[in-house]
Amino acid sequence: MGLSLQSVKKRYPDFEIDVSFDVESGTLATLLGPSGCGKTTTLHIVAGFIRPDGGRILLDGVRVDDVPPHERMAGLVFQDYALFPNMSVSGNIGFGLRMQGWPKERADRRVFELLELVRLSGYGGRSVTSLSGGEQQRVALARALAPEPKILLLDEPLSALDANLRKSLRGEIRRIQRELSVTTVYVTHDQEEAFAISDRIAVMNDGRLEQSGTPQEIYNDPETLFVAQFVGLTNTIRGTIAGKKGPLFEIDSPLGRFKARSHRLFDGKRDVVLIFRPERVTLGPKKKDWNVFQGEVARCEYLGDSTLLDLNAKGTGFTVKITGEALCATGETVLIGFSPDDCTILKASG
């Protein structure tokens, strides 16, 4: 049954958490958002370290908002790992088992299994202070998993590592989560990290949940302007609904009239924002029924596998991502095109 947060609230003098979301059993859900949006506070509410002022928290269908942390069967990996420097690797992993009174033989067997799971076989006798950051992260993960928790909570577990190691270890976390089928809530501000490992993503902003969905839904069909602009690079054109022809809405803007397919309903003459991603844009000859406008190349950045172009059109900036090398120069005027199927319309106030 997994985890369910139902109108969970926490009030502070200058900030308030108010969130509802569900995590299906055996899946990995990520709380994604900017610093200070309430992600870690929400995770600590789930763990029991912070008592909510309202709402309900259910774990496997059982209400736990009044249950103390040590009885919630939650494994937590902290941002700084919080390992015990005076203990060996095995000592750290087995600490929770000793506290729970596991028989020594069973606890030793569990520690051995976890060392293999996190690919640290043979490291049991080492001091944790002799380990690299990535190895310490694996020990912290193994320690959280040792008591066979119902839910695994990870608070920015890779933030202290360099970029290459982060990519490697996020794959390891995903592998272990899938292998154990443990319900997991992962906190990060890193969009790439969230998209790489998540079954579902919950985007938070200012203590509220902006949108929850699969990575594909979050990226391709953002429900608010904040989500659209926070997740990935986004181009926006402000305009007004002019009408609808068949399945396509028509939007009037300073750059001309554009068409967009949308499952949302909009009243006539409503102010809206048209959103499209840089990689969905093409340069050059007009394609049939596509949206087109002209822009001047302000900057060209070759990245090897792609080229990023910053364009200016009537005082508005746009970004275009072209696969490979783009054959254009700064100051050149180019034709920009994108399909009505590759854009999203949102209310201007959203």
Give the per-residue pLDDT at 107: 95
pLDDT band at 264 (very low <50, low <70, confident <90, very high): confident
Summary mean pLDDT of the chain: 93
The rounded distance, in Å, linking the Cα atoms of 48 and 66 is 8
Tell me the average pLDDT across 205-233.
95
pTM reported for the whole predicted model = 0.91
Tell me the average pLDDT across 119-128.
95
Q: What is the pLDDT of residues 142-198, one digit of tens each?
A: 999 999 999 999 999 988 888 888 898 999 999 999 999 999 999 999 999 999 999
Using the predicted structure, report yes or no on whether residue 350 has a pLDDT greater than 70.
no
Q: Assess contact for 258 and 271: CB atoms under 8 A.
A: no
Domain boundaries, the chain: 3-229, 233-347
Q: What is the pLDDT of residues 54-94, one digit of tens each?
A: 999 999 999 999 999 989 999 999 888 889 999 999 999 99
The rounded distance, in Å, linking the Cα atoms of 323 and 326 is 8
Q: What is the pLDDT of residues 311-340, one digit of tens each?
A: 999 999 999 998 888 878 899 999 999 999
The CATH number corresponding to 3-229 among 1.25.40.320, 3.40.50.300, 2.40.50.1020, 3.40.50.740 equals: 3.40.50.300
Q: Which fold has domain 233-347?
A: OB fold (Dihydrolipoamide Acetyltransferase, E2P) (2.40.50)
The rounded distance, in Å, linking the Cα atoms of 123 and 98 is 19
Give the per-residue pLDDT at 286: 75
Share of the chain above pLDDT 70, in %: 99
Residue 241 φ then ψ, to 5°: -60, 120
